[in-house]
Structure 1
């Protein structure tokens, strides 16, 4: 009989995007049960991965009553299923999942940390989130930060202990599908995509993919791009992603420019980002914080150099001037300078693009991550 593993995320889109393919792979060796909030995304994920699922209504915001109900449901589930491993991802699922697993004394309580988003907070709010982080990790038997820089931060800040904090493989929670993310996998040509977007073929095209919110560095990106556009009207910026107005909204002027600037093409959320990466010359991700950003790996696998901020995850994927540029976070001028360097020096962009895919394939192909995690699971007794 296979041992049971319960994998938990707060919302199902995290399962679909961050762990795609992984649960189906693990289900060959263990009986895998996925747990997340319900909805169409969750139902689609269960069909896609061919695993069992349990719906529990997690709330991403602090909600004492809802959180207590979810905790009780998790305790009941663990007592019923008697899992060998509970493995959690994301903040709320991690906190409640690890507490419940500790209460039930699940033998192996594993938590993946894909970002510490409170590092730029201060005061009581930061202290609260630090307490929640330490509570989650103290209930876990193993903690897996998905980057080496994040591991250093966690140990230094005493969020976890060195003895049970480990990075799987080279980092990343899931790696990427290098066959899906390659130029040849897109049926339509770069020229045709640009024509469909109203972009001339002699344009220098930058691309942002992610949630459109302040902590993704969108204000700085739009300011930097607008300045560059005033000097070089050939440049274009494709923005792929939805606005998150209720979480960390961008400035009003930034939002206005995204919708109305002549050089910006806003396409909203897209299930398939490959056409937009293919139509671009450089990916720009000026985030304030990340875990291990998938989009940087995805862009690199499609031969795109990237401009990223000097934060954990990003600065482990990008090697300065080899497959991209690294700039300080919250620094619109430095971002502008690197974007201008790309627009004025296409030979540099071409050289970095030639390095991009191999640096991703050799380190972050998803089977490397899956096999390393399977080895970790099999080492538990």
Structure 2
């Protein structure tokens, strides 16, 4: 299975390939490895978006597994397992790298049954956190069942690693914290939107853009992001800060419920749903304050993007988020959505606090989140796994040389 010159066959598997954080992480991993000359395949489920598929490197080979769906479905899950297993037997990869919970479960089983020599799982989120007792037991059992066949776990944050170890999923030696790569410079160097641009892209709030205190939340419109719950809190924030304006950037199935709640609370003059934005770096730069009310995630990429934009952050506490959101230094972490009200009011009403938090954010070293850093660390991990699981590389070649041999 060793390719000419030390190159590898790598198969990435992800449940959905849309526009979320795990999806972009996978995109950049695939593209970086293809650029290095590895033979890269991407298996993804039926829920996918053409725009992110269009961003794949031309040499990445996409494979849609139609039966791979996010919800639990015994029939479809079995179909997906069989489909993946047959394809993996044909491809005969050196490494199978799964991402997200469902693909992590089905994909690792398929890799095991097809006798793939190296199996890696990316821990972007843990399904057993912040769920009911029965769900927690089931998800934990699944993760523990697959732990022995997983050669390495790639954790997006130290918090994810800690949660795994506390719950006895894998051991210390198999967990590797590799931050999720992104275009660091694009977020740091972005220019804020002008009032004229805002007028074109989003209807002005009742107080006008010049006077608005702009808050931004970037999150898929899904229940676990808790937009609807936050809107109830935002209504109270508006009562205390009449110039407050909330921008909701994202897309997803919860959008009708979000819009209905905005109307029901009388917030139409203070909230703007701006949809999915390819220029989100500029919207971050435009905001005075960035927020996230998620119930469960790994370290969300958007939290890092907020920090790259130099903005104070108020967010619900999530595993690993404390590296970025340091209480009263770069922002505030809170235990509940309801607890977001007080620190938001403080930042909006007290300019010295806002300025101090901005200064704190600018002091964070965010270089580990570059795409190049992520791919270099993945390359080193793969090389180590190769040496331990497969054996010395062909002809004594260094780990995956930069030019494919003829």
The TM-score normalised by the length of structure 1 is 0.88
Counterpart of 1:285 (choices 260, 267, 292) is: 292
For structure 1, which segment, 352-361 or 99-108, has the greater mean C-alpha deviation from structure 2 after superposition?
A: 352-361
What are the within-5 Å matches in structure 2 for residues 171-186 of structure 1? 172=179, 174-182=180-188, 184-186=189-191
Runs (4+) off by over 6 Å: 249-253
The partner residue of 2:43 within 27, 30, 35 is 35
Q: 1:207 aligns with which of 216, 230, 234?
A: 216
Higher gyration radius (CA): 2
Secondary structure in 1 matching 2:177: coil
- Counterpart of 1:233 (choices 234, 238, 242) is 242
2:251 corresponds in structure 1 to 242
User: Once the 2 structures are TM-superposed, how far is the Cα of residue 46 of structure 1 from its aligned partner?
Assistant: 5.7
Q: In structure 2, what is the Cα distance between the partners aligned to 1:309 and 1:47?
A: 31
Match of 2:63 in 1: 54
Could you list the per-position Cα deviations for residues 108-128 of structure 1 after superposition, in whole angstroms to 9, with x for gaps in the alignment? 100011111332222323222
Give the alignment partner of residue 348 of structure 2, picking from 343, 346, 357: 343
The 5 A counterparts of 1:143-182 are 143-168=153-178, 172=179, 174-182=180-188
Q: Do the aligned residues in 1 keep the contact of 2:95 with 2:116 (CA within 8 Å)?
A: yes
Q: Distance in 1 between matches of 2:177 and 2:257?
A: 33
* Counterpart Cα distance in 2 of 1:204 and 1:150: 34
Q: How many residues matched?
A: 371
CA contact 1:213–1:250 (8 Å) conserved in 2? no
Equivalence map 1:36-115=2 (5 Å) = 36-37=44-45, 41=49, 45=53, 48-50=56-58, 51-57=60-66, 58-115=68-125
Q: What is residue 136 of structure 2 aligned with on the other side?
A: 126
| Paired residues of 1:35 and 1:55 also in contact (CA < 8 A) | yes
Consecutive unaligned residues of structure 1, counting only runs of 5 or more, are: none
Q: Which residue of 2 aligns with 1:308?
A: 315
- Sort the Cα spacing of 1:323 and 1:175 in 2 relative to 1 into closer, same or farther, 3 A: farther
Contact 1:209–1:295 under 8 Å retained in 2: yes
Question: Could you tell me how far apart the structure 2 residues matched to 1:255 and 1:109 are?
Answer: 45
Cα deviation 1:27-80 (Å, max 9, x = unaligned): 214211111125773685265322112221211111112111111111111211
Question: 2:294, 2:51 → 1: CA distance?
Answer: 31
1:378 paired to 2:375: no
Is contact 1:300–1:360 with CA below 8 Å preserved after alignment?
A: no
How far the C-alpha of 1:220 sits from its partner, in A, is 4.0
Deviation at 1:308, TM superposition (A): 1.3
Deviation, 1:291, is: 0.8
Residue ranges of structure 2 left out of the alignment (5+ in a row): 388-406
Q: What CA distance in whole angstroms lies between the structure 2 residues aligned with 1:133 and 1:144? A: 14
Q: Which moved more, 1:255-264 or 1:207-216?
A: 255-264
In the alignment, the residues of structure 1 paired with residue 142 and residue 356 of structure 2 have an alpha-carbon distance, to the nearest angstrom, of: 45
Distance (whole Å) between structure 1 residues aligned to residue 242 and residue 344 of structure 2: 13
Q: CA RMSD in A?
A: 2.6
Higher relative CO (CA 8 A, sep ≥ 6), structure 1 or 2?
Answer: 2
Trace 1:177-196 onto structure 2 (pairs within 5 A).
Answer: 177-182=183-188, 184-186=189-191, 189-196=193-200
CA contact under 8 A between 1:88 and 1:110: conserved in structure 2?
yes
- The offset of 1:101, in angstroms, is 0.9
TM-score by length of 2: 0.83
Pick closer, same or farther for the CA change 1:253–1:45 going to 2, 3 Å. Answer: closer
**Residue in structure 2 matched with residue 18 of structure 1 by the alignment:** 25
Q: Give 1:206 shift.
A: 0.8
Shift in Å at residue 10 of structure 1?
Answer: 0.9
